[in-house]
Amino acid sequence: MFDHYRSEAGFALLAVRAAARLCRRIQDEMVSPAMEKSDRSPVTVADFASQAVIARMLQGAFPDDPLVAEEDSTALQATDRAQTLSAVTFYVSSLQPEANQESVYDWIDLGSGEPEARFWVLDPIDGTKGFLRGDQYVVALALVEEGQVVLGAMGCPNLNKNLRPEVGGTGSTVIAVRGQGAWVAGMDGGKPTKLQVSGQRDPKQARLLRSFAAEHTNVAKIDQLIAALGSRHPPVLMDSAAKYAVLAVGDGDLLFRLLSLKRPDYVEKIWDQAAGSIIVEEAGGKVSDLAGRNLDFSRGRQLTDNLGVLASNGWLHEPALEALRVVGADRRPEGS
């Protein structure tokens, strides 16, 4: 399917499929309530297990490539986390039989690498709240070279092979390689289908995708954007980078990641955007920040030169940028 990055694409598909299946098993068995990290976002057994499994697979497939990932083992090593650690080790060992508690720590901490000329970036579960609620979440993995995302893959347990929500269904995997398109197949394999964004050019018909959790966005600004665009459709609420897959298949037209009033200084993390951005772009869409700048993955673990994210089918990108300017969502709130 791919002329370039064939080995990397094969690895990425195996990795996100393995981790997504494991996360589904953990979700089905309801192994753990949420614990909390220092930033108070929930983290689960599945986050740690997913990262450990993919980091170990990467160590075997591309041992010289660093991994930049969301989690580290600090919270897991706390004295009151023995039960969580035991559960993580149990699930990781189902895929990596040599796993023990020390190796699980080590594999998780492989994700503490720093961005180099070539590196992988991982969100072991994007949409942890969706995971806990039994809804949408994805495992997102990408390869970055010289500051540009060149490959992205997502395991989507609760999107079917047509990338429509189907909780408990067969699931899907999505992969894109720079210059070679974006593709979807079932999570268990099968013939891949090429993705293409919608051809919608009328802002009044634009279908907006936004975060399910209101605290992750600015709901008032979203309402103002809908009014500025003249859109006749209410926003579609969905957790996680699954929204990028839905946009890439043409079932949505615009995706806004606005600054939340509760976190006006928030800077996007590269693992939240890398895989989804290339999938949309290779499906024919466009991704920028809220001011129209390209996302810059050369600045470390955060998109420090960018403000929020706008993803579109391409045709509606300029109208969306104009709407963002009109409602003042293309800049940080005053006083932040």
pLDDT by residue (tens digit) across 201-238? 999 999 999 887 766 678 889 999 999 999 999 999 99
Are 139 and 154 in contact by the 8 Å Cβ rule? The answer is yes
What's the burial of 312, exposed, middle or buried (CB within 10 Å: 0-12/13-18/19+)? buried
CA distances from 235 to 78, 198, 227, 281, 307 (A): 41, 16, 12, 22, 21
Enter the CATH code of domain 203-327.
3.40.190.80
Low-confidence stretches of the chain (pLDDT < 70) are 30-42, 214-216, 334-336
Q: What residue spans in the chain does CATH classification 3.40.190.80 cover? A: 203-327
Are 77 and 69 in contact by the 8 Å Cβ rule? The answer is no
CATH topology of domain 6-194: Fructose-1,6-Bisphosphatase; Chain A, domain 1 (3.30.540)
Are 329 and 218 in contact by the 8 Å Cβ rule? The answer is yes
* Predicted TM-score of the model (pTM): 0.95
Residue 30 is predicted with a pLDDT of 59
**Rg of the Cα atoms in the chain:** 19
Residue 37 is predicted with a pLDDT of 63
Residue 90 is predicted with a pLDDT of 95
Q: What residue spans in the chain does CATH classification 3.30.540.10 cover? A: 6-194
Pairing of strands 286-288, 208-210: unpaired
- Residues taking part in catalysis: 47, 128
Residue 208 is predicted with a pLDDT of 96
Beta carbons within 10 angstroms of residue 173's beta carbon: 29
Here the tokens at position 87 are: 């559960």
Residue 31 is predicted with a pLDDT of 42
